[in-house]
Amino acid sequence: MKAAEVKDPNDRVNILLVDDQPAKLLSYEAILGELDETLITATTAREALSWLLKTDIGLILIDVCMPELDGFELASMIREHPRFQKTPLIFVSAVQLTDLDRLRGYEAGAVDYVPVPVVPEVLRAKVRVFVELHRKTRQLERLNAELENRVAERTSELEASARRLKESEQQLININERLENLVEARTREREVALAQLFEAQKIDTIGQLTGGVAHDFNNLLMAILGSLELLRKRLPDEPRLLRLLDNAVQGAERGAALTQRLLAFARRQELKPQSVQPQQLISGMRDLLDRALGPGIEMKVDIADDLWPIEADFNQLELAILNLVVNARDAMPEGGSLTIVAREETHVQAAKHGAQLAPGDYVRVEVIDTGMGMDESTLARAREPFFTTKGPGKGTGLGLSMVHGLAAQSGGALMVTSQINVGTKVILYLPRAADDCEDREDTSVRVAPVALSHQATVLLVDDDALVRTGTAEMIEDLGFVVIECESAHEALSVIDTRAEEIDVVITDHAMPGMSGLELIRELAARCPDMPVILASGFAEIPDQQDAATAPRLAKPFRQSAVSDAITNAVRGAQRKAPVVALEARR
C-alpha cells in the first residue's frame, strides 16, 4: 500500500495481539501500525477470549509464555470454538523452543511461529499475507450477500411480470376457445424462455464474480507456492521441518486445484481442445476409477470402440469424468453399481430434452448410479456453485458446476435426472471432433530445456508486488538477472533505454492502464525479435494472433515451469537471430 493511501475504516481487518507484557504489545503496535489495520491488545487469556466473542478478528498473535494460560492452552481453547476454527494464529515467543514445542504449537492450530527479537519486516510480511486472505474472504462474503439480494430483487420483478402477463392472457382466453389453446401454448414457451434467461443471467453473474476471485487467489497462491519452493532449498535436511513444509505446499496446491474448479465453473479456464476417443479415455482411467469407487461398487462400461471422437480438452475431460464418478460413489455409501455409457446423437433442433445444443453431431456420455438420488428441490440446485449435500468438510460443491462449465465452454451441455432411492443419471453432451483421433498429429513441439548463460536477463512485469517479488526470487535463484517493473508503461521505458540488455520479457495480463496483451503488441512494434512470455491465472484473453503465438505461463506456476519457459523462449530467439549468443554481451 502506498503511503498516500488512507484505508477505508470499514475495510480494515482486526488483529488481536495477546501478551502479558504491555511493553511488548506497544512494540508490536509500532511494527504493525504502518499496515493501517485495527490493532486490538489483550494482556490475559480471559481478555483475549472476550474480544474474540464480541469482535470479528481476522488474525491472532499469541505470546507462548503467559502466567494465567500459556499460548498453547489459549490456542487450544480458541480452536475448540466453532467460530474460530479457521482463524489464523501466529505464536510469538522469546523462549528458545524445541521442535517438539513447535509441533505442539502447530497441532494447537498455529499457522506460523515468530521468534523474539522480532524482525519487523518479517512480522509485517507474515501478517500482511493472512490479513489480505481474510480481507478477500470478507469481500467475497459481502459480494455473495449483495448477489443474493440482486437475485431476490430480480426474481420478484420476474414474478410480478409473470403475474401481469398471466392476468392479461386470462382476459384473452375468455374471448375464444381456440385462442385460449393458442395462448396457453405460447405462455408455456414464454415461461420456459424467462426461466432460461434468468438462469443464464444468474450463472453469468456468479461466473464473473467467481472468475475474478479465482484470479486474485491465483496471485496469492503464486506468491505462497513460490516462496515455499525457495524455502525448501534453504532449509536444513530436517525431516520434521520438511514434513511441515510439505503440509504447507499441499495446502497451497489444494487451493490451486480449487481455483481451477472455480475457473472451470466460470468458463475462464484455458482449454486445449483435441480429438479424443471416448473408449480410449475411459480405458486409460479404469484403474483410477476402480480405486476411487472402492470394492463395494461395481462399475460397468458400455462404449463402442468405433464411437465418434469428441472435441475436448483431454485433461479437463478426465477430471470431469472423475468428479462424476466420485459424486456417484458418495451417493452409494452402502454400495451399488455405476454404469458409464456413450452413444452417438445428431441434433437437428436447438434444444432437446432441456439441453441447449446447436444442431450437429454429439457424443452423449452417461454416468448412472443406483444411489440415494435427489428430490426435486435438491436437483434444481445441483449445478449451483458451492451447493453440496455432503456436509461440512466433505465437498466443495464445485464438482458438478465444474463439469457444467467444461461442457458449455466445449460447445456441449449437461443434464441431470434423479429419483429418491432409485439413483441419478448425469448426461454429458460433447461435440463430435472434426477429424479422427488416429489422423491427428501432435503439432506442438516442446523444446528440451538447455543450460543458458547466467548473464541472461529477464524483464518481469506484474502490478502485484507480492507476486512480482516471489517470481523474481524464483528467477534469480535459477541464475538469471531480473529487472522488475510494476506496469507496462514502466516496462516500455526500460525497453527504450536498456533493450540490448534484455533477453526475454515475462508479463502479467490483467494490469491497470495497459494490459499484458497490449504490451506484447507494443513490444512487437519496437523490438520484433524480443521473446515475450504471457503469465495469467485464467483464459479471459481475446482470441487474437499475438495472444495465440505468445508462450503462456499458467498461474500459479512452479520454478521448473518458469525455468522451462525462459529457456525455451531465449533459445527460440537465438535460433531466429543471426548467431547472436548470450555470452556475446559479456
Comparing 572 with 427, the larger pLDDT belongs to: 427
Taking the C-alpha atoms of residue 72 and residue 280, their distance in angstroms, rounded to an integer, is: 54
Which of 363, 288, 361 is CA-nearest to residue 318?
288
- Residues 85-96 have pLDDT tens digits of 888 899 887 666
DSSP code for 461: E
Q: What is the pLDDT of residue 376?
A: 84
In the predicted model, is pLDDT for residue 451 greater than 60?
A: no
Average pLDDT score, the chain: 79
| Helix, coil or strand: residue 533 | strand
Strand duo 423-431 + 360-369: pairing: antiparallel
Residues with Cβ within 8 Å of 472's Cβ and at least 6 positions away in sequence, in order, are 460, 482, 484
Q: Where are the alpha helices (DSSP H) in 174-300?
A: 177-234, 239-265, 278-293
Per-residue b or e along 535-551, where b marks 16 or more CB atoms closer than 10 Å to that residue's CB: bbbbbbbeeeeebeebb
- Residues 263-293 have pLDDT tens digits of 554 445 556 788 999 999 898 888 888 888 8
Domain assignments of the chain as residue spans, ordered by start: 9-118, 131-265, 273-439, 457-585
How large is the C-alpha radius of gyration of the chain? Answer: 28
Amino acid making up residue 48: A
Domain 457-585 homologous superfamily, CATH? Response regulator (3.40.50.2300)
Amino acid making up residue 154: R
Confidence of residue 393 (pLDDT cuts 50, 70, 90): very low
Taking the C-alpha atoms of residue 7 and residue 467, their distance in angstroms, rounded to an integer, is: 22
In the predicted model, is pLDDT for residue 547 greater than 60?
A: no
Strand partners of residue 273: 313
Can you give the three-state secondary structure of 414-435, one letter per residue?
Answer: EEEEEECCCEEEEEEEEEECCC
450 half-sphere exposure, CB direction, 13 A CA radius: 7
- Taking the alpha carbons at both ends of the chain, their separation in whole angstroms is 38
Find where cell 432460461 sits. Answer: 196
pTM: 0.42
- 9-118 CATH, one of 3.30.930.10, 3.40.30.10, 3.40.50.2300, 3.40.50.300: 3.40.50.2300
Longest Cα separation, the chain: 93
Average pLDDT over residues 52-79: 86
Q: What is the pLDDT of residue 105?
A: 74
Strand duo 532-536 + 355-356: pairing: unpaired
Q: What is the pLDDT of residue 92?
A: 86
Residue 482 gets the label, from left (phi > 0), alpha (psi -120 to 50) or beta, of beta
Q: Say which CATH architecture domain 273-439 belongs to.
A: 2-Layer Sandwich (3.30)
Run of H or E residues at 343: strand 336-347
Domains 9-118 and 457-585 share a fold: yes
Confirm if 367 and 311 have CB atoms less than 8 A apart. Answer: no
Amino acid making up residue 132: E
Confidence of residue 482 (pLDDT cuts 50, 70, 90): very high
Can you give the three-state secondary structure of 7-44, one letter per residue?
Answer: CCHHHCCEEEEECCCHHHHHHHHHHHHHHCCEEEEECC
